[in-house]
Amino acid sequence: MTTTVAPVDALTRIWETPRGLYGALISVDHKTIGKRYLVTAFAFFLLAGLEALGMRAQLTHGDARLLSPETYDQLFTMHGVTMMFLFASPILSGFSNYLWPLMIGARDMAYPRVNALSYWTFVMAGLFICASGLIGRAPDGGWFAYVPLTGAAYSPGPNLDFYTLGLIFLGISSTVGAVNFVATFFTMRAPGMSVNRVPIILWGTLTASFAILFFMPALTVSCVLLYLDRHVGTHFFDAAAGGHPLLWQHLFWLFGHPWVYIIVLPGIGIASDIIPTFCRRPLIGYTFIALSTVMTMVLGSGVWVHHMFATGLPQLSTSFFSGASMMIAIPSGVSVVAWLVTIWHGRPRLSVPFLFVCGFIVLFVIGGVSGVMTAAVPFDVQLHDSYFVVAHLHYVLIGINVFPVFAGFYYWFPKITGRMLNEARGRVVFWLMFVGMNLAFFPMHIAGMLGMPRRIYTYPAGMGWDGVNLTTSIGAIVFAVGVALFLFDVVRSRMKGAKAGNNPWEAPTLEWSMSSPPPPYNFAVLPTVRSSYPLWEPWLLGRQVSDIDQGPVLDDGRETFGTSALDAAPVGVLHMPEDSAWPLVQSLALTWVFIALLVSAWVWAAAGLAAVAATLVGWLWPNPREGPGPTAPSRLWAMRLVVLTEACFFAYLLFSYWYLGSIAPTWPPANIGTQSLGIALPNTLILIASSVTFWWGEMGIKRGSLTRLRLGLALTFVLGAVFLGLQLVEYAHQSVTPQTNAYGSLFFTITGFHGAHVAVGLFMNLILQVWAWRGAFSQDEHGFVSNAGLYWHFVDAVWVFVFGSLYLIPRVV
Amino acid sequence: MRPTALWFGLGGAPIAWSVLQLIVYPIAAHACFPHGVPLAHSEIGHVNRITIVVSVLALAVGLMALRTAIHNVRVTRAAAGEPSAPPDEVEGPWYFLAYAGLVASVVFSLGIVMTALAPFVVSPCW
């Protein structure tokens, strides 16, 4: 229905979340979730700030005894973990969750319930990690938790278990959130909003989301392996039994370096979208900035070894990564030039958001230059583990994450709350934070040059470090005062701030076209976009070419447009799900699992997993009102992306296998020999056959034959179950155990995780069979069958690689 | 314009660079630490030559991608855009992607050259 007068009352009824506590718990509204992300992540920011102030109090002068070494270790570790994992990324998720649908002309994210799951899981994982501090057993091995220090021998308490399990838990939140962003980008942009017209923050978050899907599994694998070493007696990092500590560093930094870009690229997007508004002109070099965002990530994914220059790696190897690291300066420099040229050719208005963006550019350049310096191997080796590195990483992370985030707060606070923050107080906040930041961290460069190592809880007076440390501590206090004043401003402005109106900054993008705060349905009519700056068209083009105030209403339930990936041509109407308690319930069940694993209560952990499975069944159970779901494009994206990230998980496991194999005298160890093909070969054929039966059944339903689908699913189930049974038989005949040596640890871990995936596939198969017998599928509605089929084929394909690596190649090489 | 040409122009050079990094790093590392035992000199005497040969192959892919990207830019620029769009957007999303491929091909081909130069600058092990 196309109209100029939308039935806003009906839309409000459709999209509004029920009031009260229950409504708050079941809400899947992206605006609610976005605000919760912002508030929760900011609370973690304050916690991390207090931890930092504790450290600075200790380091203000030499020979201080305010904190014990153990407490200091916990403080600096938790400061890093909290900032990196619980603030820097989630705060950007908050902005993106709140803003994306408003910016792209949609009524919600692609998967609203998954969005809620992402938030609740983030909260639970954050509380899980921080709970360690309440019992005085916070992680204490640094945010990168190098082994062997973090192994059971040197860290016997539960401290590092909070770390490993907490980060695996948090990884679930990040991953499902990333799936949601990617699917939303490619399927839900307003008609006409082609990829060359999206705000830069979308490019930043999209790039970061892909990076999460590719690299988060490396962190998950490293944490799983460390947990197994600590609790099951495996030997992944035990050099005496064929493992190697450098395996941890490779896995961690394969994740860790991209993570830096994950937490800065959306920040760069925020700054890039604010600059045009306050310079009163379109962004110069849009294509270059969008592409720089993506290129920085691609280059950044191939430089992880520059964190390992001091580990004794061969010169030629390090030089490859040194060159690649320096190349990151190219896209970064291009972006800086584009921003400066835009400012130069604009008519800058020095409002508070723009001040923070200017601060961001200055800090970005300083942090970038010291980054190029540390990319040079001789320089890095000299200053490795010194305070110079601490200075560099804080210029990068505070400069490119915290400052854009504060710019975003000042810029979008009026949209979120309907009230303006105080401009005069904001200027004071900016200068306190900017001066405090430089006062705190610039002297750290000097401290590093003077030889002050990182992670020391105190230092002898008279080393020449007292002055720079005192300056740093004063800077930290100034910075903290700025943050405190910002908090005061937020509270006061929320109650008494000036009314904002729809578009207080006269900004050009879609989120400013609606009331502040936005209505539950976002857009009364769904817009059609024909330029990058739809609200500036009368000024830029002399007339309004985008349709903002008239268009389709879509009020037959929760509906929004589905569009094509590149040019955003309409492809259908998406029916969005209702509010639901399942995301919260499932995150509680996951919490149960991780608490049980923390205390090594295996039976309780298994029961928790059963609870998770039960919540999945409840979540996915066909809703008589919604049905099993249409075969809409966004439905298919989720499984594709899950398969992508799962493939990366197995790639990192197989990388571990080949890495340890490459440094072992013989692989498999001589006393073990190669794996027998007696069971594995027929088992492989059985698993491949199960793919054929699934495909046969799926083809059946595509032709309308429910009977063929039922038969295909049943045959697949039997073959998959036989595969698992034979694998157990093979385990019983193995000459090694997971505790024998690193080879045994890897063999059982890789095949075990694959077996677990087969079991999940069988579980999905069972659900499909139940639905098939209830007649829930038809020729037109079989999206879940296709999704489950993709997963099953993926699991089978993974086995081909596992079989090749563990069984075949060792026989040949 | 064929979609394969568009995607090759966009992703050819970055993928070639990524694959190059993934090949030459383990070769160089293993050459100096065969089975975990450090050597003073490279065990694989030809490690430099292997690096250069693989780099040349990667560069060939990168330059082919660059050539394809240039062609893509010309084709998409010639295509008519929306008449109502702002002047800097008339080329549309296909031109945007083609142009992105051009820039990416240049940058990542440069990256391949930098990797290829490494054996001339440093010794393989230490």
CA distance A570 to A563: 4
Cβ separation of A664 and B36 shorter than 8 Å? yes
Chain B CB contacts of A324 below 8 Å: 21, 111, 114-115
Q: Does A231 touch chain B (CB under 8 A)?
A: no
- How many CA atoms, within 13 angstroms, populate the side-chain half-sphere of residue A795? 31
In this structure, which amino acid lies at residue A658? Answer: W
* Share of residues in chain A with pLDDT > 90 (%): 87
A319 with B21: Cβ contact below 8 A:
no
Is residue A56's pLDDT more than 50? yes
Cβ-based contacts of B119 with chain A (< 8 Å):
316
Confidence of residue A275 (pLDDT cuts 50, 70, 90): very high
Res A686 pLDDT > 80: yes
Burial-class residue A238 by CB neighbours within 10 Å (0-12, 13-18, 19+).
Answer: buried
Q: In chain A, whose CA is at the least distance from the CA of B122?
A: A316
Please tell me the distance in Å from A500's CA to the nearest CA on chain B. 29
Q: Do A314 and B88 touch (CB under 8 A)?
A: no
Of A83, A91, A221, A89, give the one whose Cα is nearest residue A142. A83
Amino acid identity for residue A240 in this structure: A
- What DSSP line would sit under chain B, residue for residue? --HHHHHHHHHHHHHHHHHHHHHHHHHHHHHHSGGG---SS-SSTTHHHHHHHHHHHHHHHHHHHHHHHHHHHHHHHHS---TTS-GGGTTHHHHHHHHHHHHHHHHHHHHHHHHHHHHHHS-S--
Query: Is A205 in a helix, a strand, or coil?
Result: helix
CB-based contacts of A46, cutoff 8 Å, min separation 6: A483, A487
**Cis upstream peptide for A148 (omega within 30°):** yes
Task: From A354, A454, A442, select the one nearest A398 (Cα to Cα).
Answer: A442
Nearest-CA residue of chain A relative to B110? A327
Q: How does residue B108 score in pLDDT terms, banded at 50, 70 and 90?
A: very high
CA distance A289 to A285: 6
For the CA atoms of A497, A503, A508, A511, the dihedral, rounded to the nearest 10 degrees, stands at 90
Q: How far is A238 from chain B (nearest CA, A)?
A: 14
| Reported confidence tier of residue A3, pLDDT bands at 50, 70, 90 | low
Count the Cβ atoms, other than its own, within 10 Å of residue B86.
Answer: 18
Rounded CA-CA distance A196/B91 in Å is: 10
**Least CB–CB distance from B89: residue in A330, A331, A532:** A532
The per-residue pLDDT for range B24-52, each reduced to its tens digit, is 888 888 888 777 777 766 556 677 888 88
Residues of chain B with pLDDT > 70, as a percent, come to 83
Nearest to A315 among B85, B111, B125 (CB): B125
State the complex-level ipTM.
0.91
CA atoms of A68 and A354, how far apart (whole Å): 42
Establish how many alpha carbons lie within 13 A of residue A325's alpha carbon, considering only the half-sphere containing its beta carbon. Answer: 25
Spatial contact of A161 and A230, defined as CB atoms under 8 Å apart: yes
Q: Chain A interface, mutation test: which of B35, B37, B106, most A Cβ atoms within 10 Å?
A: B35
Give CA–CA dist A246/A765, Å, rounded.
40
Helix, strand, or coil here: A319?
Answer: helix
Cβ count near A19 (within 10 Å): 8
Least confident of A188-197, A788-797, B22-31: B22-31
**pLDDT tens digits, one per residue of A739-752:** 999 999 999 999 99
In whole angstroms, what is the distance from residue A175 CA to residue A170 CA? 9
Q: In the prediction, which pLDDT does A631 show?
A: 46
Give the helix ranges, DSSP H, for A529-632.
537-540, 582-598, 602-620
Query: Which residues 6+ apart lie within 8 Å of A690 measured at CB?
Result: A715, A716, A719, A720, A723, A792, A796
CB A500 within 8 A of CB B55: no
**Where residue A783 falls among pLDDT bands split at 50, 70, 90?**
confident
CB contact A664 to B (< 8 Å) = yes
Token pair listed for A633 = 């494009």
- Whether A314 sits inside 8 A of B126 (CB atoms) is yes
Q: Does A316 touch chain B (CB under 8 A)?
A: yes
Mean pLDDT value across residues A509-529: 95
* Count of beta carbons in the 10 Å neighbourhood of residue A746: 28
Mean pLDDT in residue range B8-25: 94
Mean pLDDT value across residues A187-212: 95
How much is the pLDDT for B91?
A: 65
CA–CA separation, A88 and A84 (whole Å): 5
Higher pLDDT, A52 or A628: A52
Half-sphere exposure of A255 (CA within 13 A, CB side): 28
- B111 CB neighbours in chain A (<8 A) are 299, 323-324, 327
Tell me A543's DSSP state: S
Distance (Å) of CA A534 to CA A176, A278, A518, A527, A531: 31, 16, 18, 10, 6
CB contact under 8 A, B125 and A314: yes
Residue A314: how many other CB atoms lie within 10 Å = 23
Q: Is the pLDDT of residue A624 over 90?
A: no
Cβ–Cβ under 8 Å, residues A283 and A272: yes
Q: Is A194 on the interface with B (CB under 8 A)?
A: yes
Cβ separation B126–A315 shorter than 8 A = yes
Closest partner residue to A315 (CB to CB) among B38, B84, B124 is B124
Q: Give B-chain residues touching A323 at CB under 8 angstroms.
A: 111, 114-115, 117-118
Q: Do the Cβ atoms of A194 and B110 come within 8 Å?
A: no
CB A320 to CB B28 under 8 A?
yes
User: In whole numbers, what is the pLDDT of chain A averaged over residues?
Assistant: 94
Contact assignment for A327 to B110 by CB distance below 8 Å: yes
Nearest CB among A298, A662, A664 relative to B14 is that of A298
What span, in angstroms and rounded, lies between the C-alpha atoms of A36 and A42?
A: 10
pLDDT at B84 (0 to 100): 52
Q: For A569, name the nearest residue in chain B, comparing CA atoms only.
A: B93
> In terms of CA atoms, which chain B residue is nearest residue A288?
B100
- Chain A residue with Cα closest to B113: A323
DSSP character string of A259-280: HHHHTTHHHHHHHHHHHHHHHT
With beta carbons under 8 A apart, name residues in chain B contacting A312: 38
Residues A706-732: tens digit of each pLDDT: 999 999 999 999 999 999 999 999 999
Cis peptide before A668 (omega within 30 of 0): yes
The pLDDT of A351-369, averaged and rounded, is 97
Cβ distance A720 to A753 under 8 Å?
no
Question: Which of B24, B93, B115 is closest, CB to CB, to A195?
Answer: B93
SS3 (DSSP) at A638: helix
CA max distance for chain A: 84
* Cα(A424)–Cα(A352) distance, integer angstroms: 9
> Which of B6, B7, B19, B21 is the best residue to mutate to test the A interface, defined by the most A CB atoms within 10 Å of its own CB?
B21
- Give tens-digit pLDDT for B62-91: 999 999 999 999 988 876 555 555 545 556
Q: How far is A317 from chain B (nearest CA, A)?
A: 5
Q: In this complex, is the C-beta atom of A327 within 8 Å of any C-beta atom belonging to chain B?
A: yes
Residue A319 is nearest to which of B18, B82, B122, comparing CB atoms? B122
Cβ–Cβ below 8 Å for B84 and A305: no
Contact A579, A625 (CB under 8 A): no
Q: What angle do CA A564, A566, A571 make, to 5 degrees?
A: 10
Q: Would the pLDDT of A653 be above 90?
A: yes
Cross-chain Cβ contact A287/B96 below 8 Å: yes
Rounded Cα distance between A237 and A439, Å, is 40
* Mean pLDDT of the region A411-415: 98
